[in-house]
């Protein structure tokens, strides 16, 4: 399921477009593939998916309401360090 909108309020009307806000599509600086750094033996992989939600209060002071004003998605990368495997063999006695 690809979610494209969220409701601004807790009880939205499914047929009233102003009750909904579009989720900003994320743009990747690099491709969503892993990137190998052979100098440092590290792999940069897309591993963290974030959803940022910004909201604001509005209304009168005795009846303030919270409303979502912006939702965005972003993909962060994580460095994974790979170690060279060393195998030790011993001769049977």
Is 40 among the domain residues?
yes
Is 92 among the domain residues?
no
pLDDT at 66 over 70: yes
Is 59 among the domain residues?
yes
What is the structure's pLDDT at 39? 83
Determine the Cα–Cα distance for residues 56 and 62; give it in Å rounded to an integer. Answer: 16
Is 10 among the domain residues?
yes
Is 86 among the domain residues?
no
- Residue 91: alpha-carbon gap to chain centroid: 51
Q: Domain tally for the chain?
A: 1
Quote the domain boundaries for residue 72.
5-81
Interacting residues of 40 by C-beta distance below 8 A, sequence separation 6+:
81
Is 93 among the domain residues?
no
Is 88 among the domain residues?
no
pLDDT in tens, 38-47: 887 788 887 7
């Amino acid at each position: 399921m690809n979610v494209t909108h969220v409701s601004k309020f807790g009880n939205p009307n499914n047929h009233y477009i102003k009750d909904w806000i579009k989720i900003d599509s994320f743009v990747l600086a690099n491709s969503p593939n892993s990137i190998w750094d052979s100098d440092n033996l590290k792999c940069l992989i897309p591993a963290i998916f974030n959803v940022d939600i910004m909201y604001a209060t509005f209304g009168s002071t005795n009846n303030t309401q919270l409303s979502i004003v912006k939702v965005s998605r972003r993909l962060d990368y994580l460095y994974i360090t790979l170690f060279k495997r060393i195998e030790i063999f011993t001769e049977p006695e």
